[in-house]
Structure 1
Amino acid sequence: MIKGGNVGLAALSEDTGSVILSLNWSSATGDGDADVSVLLLNGDGKVRGDTDFYFYNNPAAADGSVQLLGKTPTAEGNEDRISLDLTAAPADVERIVVAASRYGGARFGDLGDLRVTLVDRAGETLLGFSIEDADVESAFIFGELYRRGEEWKFRAVGQGYESGLAGLATDFGIDIDDDAADEETVDEKTADTVTADEVADAAPEPVEQAPAPGVDGTPGSPARTARPPAPMEGEESAPAPARRPRTAKKKVTLPKVAKTSLAENESWRTARLFPVSSLRYDREREMRATSVLLSVMTQVPEFGRRLTAAFGAPAGRMETFTEVSLPHGGNAPKRPDGVIRVERAGKLWTALVETKTNGNPLKSEQVQDYMDIAARRGYEAVITLSNDVALEGSPLVDVKVDRRRKHKVALWHLSWAEVAHHAQMLIRHEGVGNTAHAWLLQELLQYLQHENSGCHGFQNMGPAWVPVRNGIDNETLCQGDQRAMDVVESWDRLIRQVCLRLGGELGQKVLPVQRARRGTDQSSRRAAMADRLCEEGRLYAELRIEGTSGILAIVADLRTGKLRTAIEIAAPDQGYPLTWAKRLVRQLAGAPADLHVETLVEGQGGGPRGTLERLRPEPGDMLPKGGARITGFRLSLFKGMGSARGNAESGFIRSVDDAVDRFHSGVVAHLGSRPAHRP
C-alpha cells in the first residue's frame, strides 16, 4: 500500500474477524527499538475513556478486542505484534489507531525498514505498508482500522509526533499523569515452595519508590507512596483522584513469600498440586504434562489468553480436553494429545495439540495427520509443543498444505521454555488476577522445573556436536559441511532459550541481536555463521537486555574450550579519564576479581588491560599512554566450556547458562541502567 491508501479487509480474505498487525523496524547499530500502542476512538475521533489506550502499562482489553503480544527478533531488528479481535470491538468504536513510540530522545528517523503488515486468523499475509519519510518524530501512527457500515477497512497513515507517546495520547483525548509510576513491590525473600495460604496471606505494603522515568525516558525525581492525612473532625474526606494513564513504564511485582517451615527436618517435602516423582516413561510424561498445562490455561485466564492470543485465538470462554479420539478417513482414529476450544459470540475456535517431552522430536507424519483432520473438520490451528525452540525460516516439521482447500489451518510451535517464561513473567513481574492464580502458576513452574517432568526446554546440541568439535580440533572441518550448519542452528536455539530464561528472571525484554546485511534471510545468515565456525572454530551471539548500558556478547571458542562473556560500555561525554576509571572500579566493587577490564582507544581498538583484582588499587593503570582518546571499556569473564552435547553438569548447554548468569549478576547488574541520550 501507499501512504493515504485504504482497502476493505473483506476483499482480501474471508477470515478477518481476528487479525494480527505486525510492526517492524531495524537499526544500523542493532539496538534501536520502539513500543507499540493502540487507541480505540469513537465517531468524534476521541477515546471513550482512558482505558481505551493500550500500551506497555495496559497491554490487553478485558473483552479481548486488543492484546499486545510483545516483541520477537528478526534478522535486521524487531517485530512487535498486536492481536485485534474485530468481532469483539464495541459498537461505538469507529476507529482503531495503531502507533509506536520511542523514548530517551530517540527518533524514528534513526530506524530503518519501518513497516506494518496485517495477517488474518490463519496467518495469511493480507497487506503491507512501508514508511520511508520518518525523521524527528518520537511517536508514529502506522495505520488505522475503521468501520464503513458493517465492513472494516485499513488506512495506511504514516504520520508522526515530535512530542512522543504523551503527545499522541493527549491529542486523542487521553488525560496523562506524568508523575512517577506506581510500583507495587514486597519483601524480596525467596521461597522454594509457595502454598496457597502463603500467597493468600501476602499483601503488598506501601513502599518507597525508586526514581521513575519521565515521559521521554529521562530520570525523574524520587517519589514516595504515602497515605493521605486523615481528615480533621468535622471535615469531609476528599474523593480519591481518578487514576490516569502513565506513559512512564511501570513494573508490578508479586510477592515472593518465605515462611518458616513446620517440617521436623529437611527430608519432609511439601505436597505438590502436580506430583512428578512417579513419572518414568515418555508417554506418561507427555500425557501428564499436556493435562497439567491445559488445565492451568483454563483456570488462569491471563495465562491461557497469553499463550493462545499469539496463535490467533479470540478472547472468550476456554475449555481444554486431552486424549480426544477423532476419525481419520478410512484409517484408524487419531488421538491428539490435547484440544483447545475458545467460544466467542457463538463461534468456536479450535486447535489440536501435539506434545513431546524429554527431548523427543516431533514426527512429520503425525503432525500432517492432525493438519488434515483440522482442515476437514474446520478447525483453525494445530499447535506443536516440545523441548525444541523454533527458528525463523527453519520449521521443525515439514507438512504439505492442500491449497485447493478453502479452509486454512495454521501450524504453530510452542516450546516448554516459552511456557515457563510466560508463567514466570506473570507471577513475578506483571501480575495476575488473584492469589489462587498466582499459586497455580507457581505450582506449574515447580512441575516444569522438576527433573522428572521432561519439560526442560532445549537440552541437546544434536548428533553433529561431537564430530564438529573433533573436526575443529584436527582441522578437518571444511566450509559447506552440513554438520556445521546443524550446530549453528542448535546454537541459535540455545541463545533464544537463554533469552527466554533470563528475561523471565529479570522481568525485562531480552532479545538476540542478529547482525546481518539488510535483505539477508535467516538461512543465509546461518550459512555465513557456519562458514565462520569452520574457519575460526568459534560461535558468536549477542543479547540485548532492556535497560542495560550495552550489548552482552557471548563467544564459544571450540578450539580452546573457553566461553567468553563480555560487554562494552561507552566512555562518558564529560569529565576526566582518571575519574572515569575510578568510577568504573567503584561500580564494580562487587564484581568477580578475575574480571578482565580492557580500555578501548580511538584508532587503536584495545588499549591497557588487566584483571579487576590488579586494577582496583591503581585505577590509573587503565589509562593509555600519550593521552590517546578513550572511547570506552570492555569487560570480560572467561569460563571453561562443557564438552558434552547435553545439559548435564559437564554439558555445553549448562556451561553457557552458568556463564551468562554469572556475568549478568556479577558484572552487568552493577553497571546500572542505560544512561539517557544527550541532545
Structure 2
Amino acid sequence: MHHYSWTALLSMCEVIRDHRGVEDPDQAWILGELIRYLRHPNSGATAFDDMGPDWVAVRDAARDNGLRKNDPAVRDIAQRWDQLLRFAALRLEADIGQSVTQQLPAAQREVSKRLQHLVDQVVTGGCLDGVLRIPNTVGDLELSVDLRARRITAAVTVPAPDDRGGRARCTWLASQLDADVDRRLVVEAYARNARTATTATLEQIREDKDCLLGEDKKDPAKFRLVLTREMGVARKTGRTSPGFIDSVLSLITDFYGTVIQDLTAWTPKAPKITRAVPSAEPDALTEGDEPPALTVPDGAQAPPGSDPLGDTSPPGQPPEQRGVPAYPWS
C-alpha cells in the first residue's frame, strides 16, 4: 500500500484541473471544491511552512562552525530540507502540469545514506544541496544553501553546441534569455576538460561575446547558469522578516520561469550526403536533341558518314528502304 500526503493529493488535483481538464461538469465541480478545501489555511494540508524548533540554533551554529554530526538537531534540519525539496517539486509540478521529481545520485538513494550526506555537509561546510528534475528541460535544476554566507543558489548546466566557434556559442546562449532575467545571473563557461570556469554576467556577454572565452580563447564545451540570492532567515513562512522556506520557493519559481523554461537544448543537424547522387532514370532525348556522338576505339577510324548502326542511307527513308532490318513486331 502506498500513502500520499495531502500536499501530493492537492498537487495531483491541480494538475488534473489546470492542465488536463475534466469533461463532466459535476466531477469538475467536485474537484474544484476539494481543491478549495485543501487550500484553506485551516485544513492543515496546504503547505510546508515550518523548519522546526531547531532551525535558529542550527542556522546560527553553522555560521560559528559549532555543529556536531551526532546532534539530533542537525539531523532534524537535514530531514526537513529534503521535505522542503519534495514540497517544492509538488508545487512546481502543479504550476507546469508535468511530473517534477527530486533527483538523487545512486549513492544517496537509501534514506539513511541521503541523511548522512546532508548531515556531513551541514557540519563540515554549513551547506545543503538538492536537485530537481523537470521533463523536457535542458538540464536539472540544482539547488544549494550556504548557511554560513546566508545565501541560496539555483543553477543549471547547458551543453554548448559543437558545430560553431566559441563566439557563436556564446551568442547562441545569450539569444535564448529574455530581458526579464535577474541581473544577478552569472554564466560560467567551461572549456573541454577544464576545471575552472570563465565567468561573466549576462549583461557583459551581450556587450562582448568574447568575454567568456578567456585569455586562451578556447571554445566553451558547456555553460553553467547560476543565480544567487540572500537567504531568508526566519523559521516559518508569512512572517515580517523573510522566511527561509519562502526564499527557497521563490528562487525555484523565478529561476525556472525566467531561465530554464526558455532554454532549448542544441541538437546536431542530420548528416548530409557528400557524393553525387545518380539519377534514377537515364536522361531521355527530347525532340530536336542530337544523338550522342559515335565513340571510336583508339587506333581505328570510322568511315565518313557512318552512324552507330551502320546505316548510311539518306535520312527520312523507312528502315526497310535504308537497309536496316525492321523489328519483327513492326
**1:528 equivalenced with 2:131 (yes/no):** no
Find the aligned partners of 1:673 and 1:445 in 2 and give their Cα distance: 36
**1:616 equivalenced with 2:194 (yes/no):** no
1:453-602 equivalent positions in 2, closer than 5 A:
453-517=43-107, 521-590=110-179, 591-602=181-192
1:661 aligned to which of 253, 270, 276: 253
1:630 equivalent in structure 2: 220
2:232 equivalent in structure 1: 642
Q: Which amino acid aligns with 1:464?
A: D
Deviation at 1:524, TM superposition (A): 2.0
1:207-230 superposed Cα distances (whole Å, 9 cap, x missing partner): xxxxxxxxxxxxxxxxxxxxxxxx
Contact 1:548-1:674 at 8 Å conserved across structures: no
Quickly say closer, same or farther: Cα 1:617–1:446, change in 2 above 3 A: farther
1:471-517 superposed Cα distances (whole Å, 9 cap, x missing partner): 11221112232221111110111101111110111111211111142
Q: Which amino acid aligns with 1:510?
A: V
Find the aligned partners of 2:55 and 2:270 in 1 and give their Cα distance: 46
Tell me the percent identity: 31
1:670 equivalent in structure 2: 262
Q: Secondary structure at 1:459's aligned position in 2?
A: coil
Find the aligned partners of 2:270 and 2:96 in 1 and give their Cα distance: 27
Deviation at 1:606, TM superposition (A): 3.2
Quickly say closer, same or farther: Cα 1:465–1:441, change in 2 above 3 A: same
Q: Which amino acid aligns with 2:185?
A: L
Deviation at 1:678, TM superposition (A): 8.6
Find the aligned partners of 1:675 and 1:461 in 2 and give their Cα distance: 42
Structure label with greater radius of gyration: 2
2:18 equivalent in structure 1: 428
Contact 1:598-1:635 at 8 Å conserved across structures: yes
Find the aligned partners of 2:204 and 2:47 in 1 and give their Cα distance: 40
Contact 2:170-2:205 at 8 Å conserved across structures: no
Find the aligned partners of 2:55 and 2:131 in 1 and give their Cα distance: 21
Deviation at 1:549, TM superposition (A): 0.6
Find the aligned partners of 2:8 and 2:262 in 1 and give their Cα distance: 28
Contact 1:539-1:556 at 8 Å conserved across structures: yes
Deviation at 1:448, TM superposition (A): 2.6
Q: Which has the higher contact order (CA 8 A, sep 6+)?
A: 2
**1:448 equivalenced with 2:38 (yes/no):** yes
Quickly say closer, same or farther: Cα 1:467–1:432, change in 2 above 3 A: same
Deviation at 1:654, TM superposition (A): 1.1
Deviation at 1:674, TM superposition (A): 7.6
Contact 1:602-1:630 at 8 Å conserved across structures: yes
1:398-445 superposed Cα distances (whole Å, 9 cap, x missing partner): xxxxxxxxxxxxxx3x32211211101111222324233223323332
Contact 2:63-2:149 at 8 Å conserved across structures: no
Find the aligned partners of 2:192 and 2:70 in 1 and give their Cα distance: 37
Query: Paired residues, what number?
Result: 268
Deviation at 1:588, TM superposition (A): 0.7
Deviation at 1:532, TM superposition (A): 1.4
Contact 1:460-1:645 at 8 Å conserved across structures: yes
Find the aligned partners of 2:206 and 2:37 in 1 and give their Cα distance: 45
Contact 1:432-1:438 at 8 Å conserved across structures: yes
Q: Which amino acid aligns with 1:427?
A: R
Quickly say closer, same or farther: Cα 1:633–1:673, change in 2 above 3 A: closer
Deviation at 1:450, TM superposition (A): 3.3
Q: Secondary structure at 2:193's aligned position in 1?
A: coil
Find the aligned partners of 1:604 and 1:676 in 2 and give their Cα distance: 23
1:168-567 equivalent positions in 2, closer than 5 A:
311=2, 412=3, 414-517=4-107, 521-567=110-156
Moved more, 567-576 or 452-461: 452-461
TM-score with structure 2 setting the length = 0.75
Q: Which amino acid aligns with 2:116?
A: A
Contact 1:460-1:646 at 8 Å conserved across structures: yes
Find the aligned partners of 1:676 and 1:544 in 2 and give their Cα distance: 23
Deviation at 1:637, TM superposition (A): 1.0
Deviation at 1:629, TM superposition (A): 4.2
Find the aligned partners of 1:438 and 1:605 in 2 and give their Cα distance: 54
Q: Which amino acid aligns with 1:598?
A: E
Deviation at 1:675, TM superposition (A): 4.8
The two structures, once aligned, show a CA RMSD in angstroms of 2.2
Higher relative helix content: 2
Q: Which amino acid aligns with 2:60?
A: N
Deviation at 1:673, TM superposition (A): 5.8
Find the aligned partners of 1:578 and 1:588 in 2 and give their Cα distance: 16
Contact 1:549-1:675 at 8 Å conserved across structures: no
Q: Secondary structure at 2:211's aligned position in 1?
A: helix
1:603 aligned to which of 190, 193, 209: 193
1:139-178 equivalent positions in 2, closer than 5 A:
none
Q: Secondary structure at 1:588's aligned position in 2?
A: coil
Find the aligned partners of 2:228 and 2:159 in 1 and give their Cα distance: 21
